[in-house]
Amino acid sequence: MGEIIDPPAFRKKLSDSVFEFYKPKTVHLEVVFIHGLEQGKCEDAYWKTWARDGIPENLWPRTWLPKEFPSARVLALSYDASIKRTATDGRMDLFLLGENLIQEMVDFGRIGQNGVPVVFVCHGFGGLVAKQIVISGNKPQFSQNQKVKNLLQNIDAFCFYSTPHHGSHLAKSRLYLSGGAKGPLLENFGVLDKETGRLNQEFEQFKRPSWHFHVVAESHEIPEYREMVVAEASSRYANATHMTLNASYMDICKPRSEKDSSYQCLTTRLKEVLDRNVVSLPFAIESLALESLVRFQKQEESVKGMLEEFRIVGLIGMGGSGKTTLAKVVYKSICNDFERSSYLDDVKSKGTLDEVLVTLLRQFGIKNGKTGGEAQLSDFQDSKERYLKDLKAFVKEHKVLVVVDDVGSEENFNHLLACMDFINGREDSRMIVTCREWQLLSKHAPLVGKYEMKLLKGSGLDIELFSHHVYKGAKSERQRREFLQDYLSRDASGTLIGDFDSVFIDIVDACAGLPLSLEVMGSCIGSYLRDCGISSGDCLELWRGALQQFRDGEALDGATAGNERLWKSLRISYDDLGPSLQEKFLDVACFFCGSLRYDYRSLLRIWGGKASDFMDLKNLQDRCLFKVNSEDGIVTMHDQLRDMGRSIVRGDGECISRVWTDQDVSRVVQSKESRATAGLSLGDWNKASEAIMRGKAHETSKREILLSKFRRDKPMKLNCPNLTLFDLREVQGNICATIVMKHSSSIRWICLRGGNITKVPKFVWKCIHLYALDLQGCADLKGLSEFVGDLVQLLELNLTDCRSLRSLPNSIGNLVNLSSLGLRGCQSLTSLPPSIGNLVNLSSLDLRGCPSLTSLPPSIGNLGNFSSLHLYGCISLTYLPYSVGNLVNLSSLDLQECRSLTSLPPSFGNLVNLPSLDLYGCESLTSLPPSIGNLGNLSRLFLIRCTSLTSLPPSIGNLGNLSWLHLGGCESLTSLPPSISNLVNLSSLDLGACMSLTSLPPSIGNLVNLSSLILYKCMSLTSLPPSIGNLVNFSSLDLRECKSLTCLPPSIGKLVNLSSFDLEGCKSLTSLPPSIGNLVNLSRLDLCECTSLTSLPPSIGNLVNLSSLHLRGCRSLTYLPPSIGNLVNLSSLDLCECMSLTSLPPSIGNLVNLSRLFLIGCTSLTSLPPSIGNLGNLSRLHLGGCESLTSLPPSIGNLINLRIQRKEA
């Protein structure tokens, strides 16, 4: 078990908004509880919402849940229920709340940072708060915040307990509190209720397909009020699982025992979450079989125990033994215990320790003292003394955790300790260091504790891990046997099963328990099983050959005694590759697995983009020689595989094919010819050169650099006739400008990423066979030369975040083979050249965040292979060219926040393959073209906050597949076309806050599948068409604040499934139709603030299931019909501020279930009928402000449970 915090400190405060109830030693799951709105103290709601009887001992998330889920971290969020901009305007600042909560969650609570699934458990309006957290996390200000990305990525499920997804009737009952006070609970019910439409719209845009939703609904009234808070229809959410319990709103989240359904509902869902995520808990970092996780759980506990004794713990072991994985597991488990934490990955592979220190500064949040921005490498080198002073002060004052992965050398370790002054820092700070030799750390004993990695040999876990890769996921012996039997049955070779088993065990023994060796060897011999061209007998011989090669193999150059066996096994897999695969493996090992990483699509383009390249990449992935991240496609490689690959390259002696170290670069620079060089990186060499110029290099580095006889004022002549890969990342512009290539025809990839160049070096334009040019982050680059057009073989051009780039040359149109053009974040780009239309092989164009872009050239319509166009945030874009209609293969178009876009071209209707169109926030869009009706595959159309849109074209009715039409916030929309009735598949129509909408078309009743209609705040809507009665699938109808609505059609009585009818704030409504009495399933009717309503029809008495009738603020209402006495199930009657009401009908005494009667502010009421004495269940009678009431009838004495409130709110 972990740590359960006992009373009185039954929770640990991590910040003002984040509290921790339980923290396990090993975290496999994070459960976050979000309270709703409380009648009591808001500051206690985060725990009292869940605590039975309001005492800490009964706080089940802290007591029961950890017993059943000992690896689950349990937290709660707290927020002020009075979260309004002012006390009177009634507007929730949910935007600010969402931003604040998500920042505190990730920064102080470190929620979602442990690589484990996150589950939100929400009560009431806490569910809406959870939605706002998601919405806020997807806003632009958090787009680059990795912690927020981690949180959103790790969310797995939402469990909603009585969440009013479609509003709550209690929002209008603001006078239910004792004494009629307008307290925070009810006021904020009203405020939040108005947010549901917006929240639902925006949340739908951002929710992910991988998320799961579960709903638990109430069915009992609140005992105190005798009414339900959230109707079942409102609690339902999309395709969520739904369960209705025998509980009220307040009790649904306070189970009395572990057998209660409300508790078991949650535990069932949590078990499902763990089942879904068990393969990645918490070791998505490595490809380990499920059973092997036990090993890390035991080792994790041992390391954490050592950290209680030692300030620094060294994880010592040979490469591939799992040091990095264990370090990450421990880090993720304990980082929440520290004020700040930092994970420094693969330190020894970094060019300089300055890079490592910059990472440390950023992760600690130490900013540039002058600009307030993040620390940058160049700025750090210029102001190192000041930065290190800030770093030492920070470490001295804060409890920090630092993981130094693969420190590399004693010198590196000592230097990092000194730069942080860690030894003189706080006693409760901790450090974890991974390395292969104890000697690197031993001089600091006893400050440093030694933990030796244990291998898998003899544990049984080695067999499980090996089997997982040989037999593609087989975990048990039975599964392994079934797989092998099926394989051998192909050619009736079942007698070989014993031979396969024998070789299998021998290879496991030869791997000596090394996880990486087991993984790679398993994938290697497993590939023979999956080769249909190999017979069972030949496959067995290949297995035996691999075993013999393993046993007879010689040590690789550069392999230490500890690495020898591992590298032998890795070399077997490498040697089994064909020449093309070997070259690609070495490319990744030498250039694409350190600080520069690409997704697999970019690698394919660098290699030429042929079908065979794709098969090679898949083969390398299947053999576990590198991995492809499932989320972003980034290719990664284990450092032992990288080191093995680099040792193979270095083993070529003077004929090194790939060069990256400063010593080897110096040799290439000064050589007359380097025919063997296929790949060259100047990164390390450049950093050493910079150190020379700054006078801060070690003498050894000086000597090596000076040997090259290179001076900055003379050309750097390179004679590498077979060079294909050229890496110039962050190389200074003045060096790049001096490069002269004698041979450039073989170069396929050039990377100038992050450099301070103002123009592309001249030699680049001579590399006419270039496949990929990477200029990402060249912030000072203002333009490209016309010579770019000579690079006719180019497949990828990456100009992302070239913030100063103003335009592209017209010659770019010569790049007819270009398939990827990245221009995202080019803030100064104003236009694209007409020749862009010549890029016939371009499949996608990313222009997100180009705020200066005003137009697209007409020639863009020539891009027939275009499938994706991203224009999000192009706030200056005023129109799309007519030719955009030629992009008939377009399947993704994002026009959100194109605030200056005034119209779409008539040709837009040609985009027949478009499934969804999002025009959110296109504030200047005034109309849609008639051709929009041709988009036959369109299922979702979002026009939210298109504030200038005045109408929809009649052709909108042709969108037969449209299921969602969202027009919320279209303030200028005056009407809908009659053809809207043709949208027979429409299920959701949002017209909320369409303030200029005056009417709905008569044919609206044809939308028989419509289940959601939002008309909230349609202030100009004067009437509803009679056909509204045909929408029989409605369970609730929201007409709040339709201030111009004067009447309802008689057909409203046909909505027999209606359970909730909200007319609050319909100030022009004068009467209700008699047919209102047909709504026999209606349980709630809200007519609050219907200030022109003079009477209720007698048929109101037919609503026998009505439990709540709200008439507060109906100032013109003079009487109630006698039939009101027929509402025998009525439990709450609100007549507050009905200033013209002079009396109550005698039949009111028939309301035997009435428990609350509100008459506050009924200034004309002169008397109460004697029959009031018959209301035996009446518990509260509110009479504050009844100025004309001089006496009470004697029968009032019959009400022995009555509490009369005369004081005004």
Token pair, residue 542, equals: 């290949």
Is the predicted pLDDT of residue 1037 greater than 90, yes or no? no
Kindly report the number of other CB atoms within 10 A of residue 85's CB atom.
12
User: Is-contact 625 521, C-beta < 8 A?
Assistant: no
DSSP assignment letter at 932: G
User: Is-contact 682 658, C-beta < 8 A?
Assistant: no
pLDDT at 632: 67
pLDDT at 374: 66
pLDDT at 177: 39
User: Is-contact 956 938, C-beta < 8 A?
Assistant: no
User: Is-contact 152 134, C-beta < 8 A?
Assistant: yes
Is the predicted pLDDT of residue 62 greater than 60, yes or no? yes
User: Is-contact 806 781, C-beta < 8 A?
Assistant: no
Which whole number is the average pLDDT over 42-50?
A: 84
Question: 1091-1100: per-residue pLDDT in tens?
Answer: 999 999 999 9
d(C-alpha 151, C-alpha 134), whole Å: 9
pLDDT at 715: 76
Which whole number is the average pLDDT over 1176-1185?
A: 86
Q: Pick the closest to residue 167 from 1063, 1136, 1081, 1135 (CA basis).
A: 1063
Burial label, 307 (beta-carbon count in 10 A; 0-12, 13-18, 19+): buried
Kindly report the number of other CB atoms within 10 A of residue 204's CB atom.
15
Q: Pick the closest to residue 359 from 376, 381, 379 (CA basis).
A: 376
Is the predicted pLDDT of residue 703 greater than 50, yes or no? no
Q: Considering all CA atoms of the chain, what is the largest pairwise distance in Å, rounded to the nearest integer? A: 117
Helix 561-575 crosses helix 515-529 at what angle (to 10 degrees)?
A: 20
pLDDT tier for residue 720 given thresholds of 50, 70 and 90: confident
pLDDT at 184: 44
Question: 731-767: per-residue pLDDT in tens?
Answer: 777 778 778 888 788 899 999 988 888 999 999 999 9
DSSP assignment letter at 367: P
Is the predicted pLDDT of residue 592 greater than 80, yes or no? yes
User: Is-contact 747 726, C-beta < 8 A?
Assistant: yes
Q: Pick the closest to residue 1183 from 1120, 1140, 1136 (CA basis).
A: 1136
pLDDT at 434: 92
Which whole number is the average pLDDT over 497-524?
A: 82
Contacts of 618 (CB under 8 A, 6+ apart): none
Query: Residue 330 corresponds to which amino acid?
Result: V
DSSP assignment letter at 882: G
Cα distances (angstroms) measured from residue 1076 to each of 202, 527, 671, 1024, 1045: 34, 72, 95, 14, 16
Is the predicted pLDDT of residue 5 greater than 80, yes or no? no
- The SS3 assignment for 12 reads strand
Give bridge partners of residue 1050 from the DSSP assignment. Answer: none
Helix (H) or strand (E) holding 724: none
- The SS3 assignment for 939 reads coil
Query: Residue 551: CA atoms inside 13 Å, Cβ hemisphere, count?
Result: 12
Question: 466-476: per-residue pLDDT in tens?
Answer: 888 888 767 67
pLDDT tier for residue 375 given thresholds of 50, 70 and 90: confident
Which whole number is the average pLDDT over 697-707?
A: 44
User: Is-contact 72 24, C-beta < 8 A?
Assistant: yes
Q: Pick the closest to residue 73 from 13, 8, 14, 28 (CA basis).
A: 28
Full set of structural domains in the chain with CATH: 3-279 (3.40.50.1820), 290-452 (3.40.50.300), 457-576 (no CATH), 581-651 (1.10.10), 652-744 (no CATH), 1070-1209 (3.80.10.10)
d(C-alpha 328, C-alpha 442), whole Å: 22
User: Is-contact 940 917, C-beta < 8 A?
Assistant: yes
pLDDT at 292: 42
Token pair, residue 235, equals: 């609690």
- The SS3 assignment for 177 reads coil
Token pair, residue 1203, equals: 């509490």
Q: Does the CA dihedral 20-22-26-31 come out positive or negative?
A: negative
pLDDT at 704: 44
Cα distances (angstroms) measured from residue 1136 to each of 88, 175, 674, 796, 1159: 19, 8, 93, 70, 5
Query: Residue 822 corresponds to which amino acid?
Result: G
d(C-alpha 598, C-alpha 130), whole Å: 34
d(C-alpha 124, C-alpha 36), whole Å: 5
Question: 160-201: per-residue pLDDT in tens?
Answer: 998 888 776 554 444 333 344 344 444 545 545 556 767 787
pLDDT tier for residue 554 given thresholds of 50, 70 and 90: low
Which whole number is the average pLDDT over 508-521?
A: 78
Give bridge partners of residue 315 from the DSSP assignment. Answer: 434, 451
Is the predicted pLDDT of residue 699 greater than 70, yes or no? no
Which one is predicted more confidently, 786 or 153?
786
Cα distances (angstroms) measured from residue 178 to each of 26, 626, 1112, 1178, 1179: 47, 66, 16, 15, 12
Place of tokens 């030498």: 590
- What SS3 string covers 1059-1118? CEEECCCCCCCCCCCHHHHHCCCCCEEECCCCCCCCCCCHHHHHCCCCCEEECCCCCCCC
Pairing of strands 796-798, 635-636: unpaired
pLDDT at 81: 58
Q: Pick the closest to residue 364 from 345, 332, 340 (CA basis).
A: 340
Which one is predicted more confidently, 983 or 575?
983
User: Is-contact 302 329, C-beta < 8 A?
Assistant: no
Reading phi first (left if > 0) and then psi (alpha if -120 to 50, else beta), residue 612 is in alpha
Rg (CA), the chain: 35
Token pair, residue 23, equals: 């923290």
Q: Does the CA dihedral 416-419-424-427 come out positive or negative?
A: negative
Kindly report the number of other CB atoms within 10 A of residue 38's CB atom.
21
Kindly report the number of other CB atoms within 10 A of residue 729's CB atom.
20
Q: What mean pLDDT value characterizes the chain?
A: 82
pLDDT at 1012: 75
pLDDT tier for residue 1024 given thresholds of 50, 70 and 90: very high
Question: 1123-1162: per-residue pLDDT in tens?
Answer: 999 999 999 899 999 999 999 999 999 999 998 899 999 9
Question: 832-889: per-residue pLDDT in tens?
Answer: 999 999 999 998 898 988 999 999 999 999 998 888 899 988 999 999 999 999 999 8
d(C-alpha 137, C-alpha 129), whole Å: 12
Is the predicted pLDDT of residue 455 greater than 80, yes or no? no
Question: 16-44: per-residue pLDDT in tens?
Answer: 899 999 988 767 789 999 998 765 556 78
pLDDT tier for residue 407 given thresholds of 50, 70 and 90: confident
Name the H helices within 530-674: 536-552, 561-575, 579-591, 600-606, 611-622, 639-650, 662-670
Question: 227-285: per-residue pLDDT in tens?
Answer: 678 877 778 887 788 888 878 888 889 888 887 888 888 988 888 887 665 433 223 33
Our CA angle for 438, 297, 567, nearest 5°, is: 50
Q: How many residues does the chain have?
A: 1209
User: Is-contact 105 151, C-beta < 8 A?
Assistant: yes
Place of tokens 């420094």: 344
